[in-house]
Amino acid sequence: MREIYYSHAIREAIAEEMRRDESVFILGEDIAGYGGAFKVTQGLVEEFGAARVKNTPISENSIVGVGVGAAITGMRPIVDIMFQDFITLAMDQIVNHAAKFHYMYGNQPRVPLVIRTPAGGGRNYGPTHSQSLEAWFMHVPGLKICAPSTAADAKGLLKSAIRDDNPVLFVESKLLYGVKGQVPDGDVTVPLGEAKVVREGTHLTLVSYSRMTIECQKAADALSKVGIECEVIDLRCLAPLDMDTVAASVEKTGRAIVVAEDCRTAGVSAEVMARIVEECFDFLQAPVRRVAGADAPIPCADVLEKAALPDAQKIVDAAAGLLRDYS
């Protein structure tokens, strides 16, 4: 085990898979010499060359289209979308092509494509560079979605995603890039679609993914000091969604709060809440609640951005209110 940055864990996963399989390559805007907007791909072009670490024009639909074409002809491309906000420009290629070829052509083509993209707020980048749009893609059959919260899971899930024969959207929180974590040595993968219990508890289940899992752990630490023990579930993947792990926890605690950074209305939290109600209703001792982003564009101003996004204190307040009202 070594302690490395989340961003370095992602880079390690890419490099290891490129060494292991010559069909793996990466393409995107400024990923070669510059190393990408967040320096995640820094150094890769020196090892693998410009033929496998490809700079592209500023045209997201074209970038993903090249990735889809390469995938169905036997390659394993990794497409880098500089900000998740820009993924809107590639919706046609992702939703109507990558996700559907498998179904339209009777399982003949495979689309082993990974689309990496940084998401979320917290850096005062404003409305068009701070969004969390993963709920849109949960609505699309044929896509897998990963959103790891730790360096170890980022590396292990990305390696699994690259080896998977289906298109995978790999969502990376910008604020996690500079966070260190223990990462195993060697070729260690994490299966897609398996949630993880990151903290045991008895009074309340907190369900989240990506950076909000860290906020849930902070909230659980604070609540523990006043005698409230929260179980924290890190979904890790949003599609497939591991409801078995969530249901087992809710059955034990009887209460659940779902935490997500994206907008409250029709967001990830809405889907997970609905599934908890559908599958765990008999075990619930209180209504399911959520803590989510505001239904508003993400502001640039620091104080306003903090007001719009979930954090540990908002989770603590929601948990305390739930237990007060339904003790």
**Candidates 8, 102, 129, 203; catalytic one:** 129
For 106-134, give the secondary structure using H, E and C. CCCCCCCCEEEEEECCCCCCCCCCCCCCH
CB distance 273 to 241 below 8 Å: no
- Looking up tokens 């044929």 gives 142
- Our measurement of the distance from residue 218's CA atom to the centroid of its chain's CA atoms, rounded to an integer in Å, reads 19
Q: Residue 183, SS3?
A: strand
Nearest to 190 by CA among 135, 224, 234, 243: 234
CB distance 239 to 151 below 8 Å: no
Q: Write the DSSP symbol of residue 135.
A: H
- Can 97 be counted among the known catalytic residues? no
- CB burial of residue 310 (10 Å; 0-12, 13-18, 19+): buried
- Can 29 be counted among the known catalytic residues? no
- CB burial of residue 324 (10 Å; 0-12, 13-18, 19+): exposed
Q: Which amino acid is at 239?
A: A
**Candidates 12, 17, 60, 215; catalytic one:** 60
Q: Write the DSSP symbol of residue 176.
A: G
Q: Write the DSSP symbol of residue 190.
A: -
What does each C-alpha distance from 229 to 117, 181, 282, 290, 317 come to in angstroms?
Answer: 34, 24, 22, 18, 14
Active site residues: 60, 129
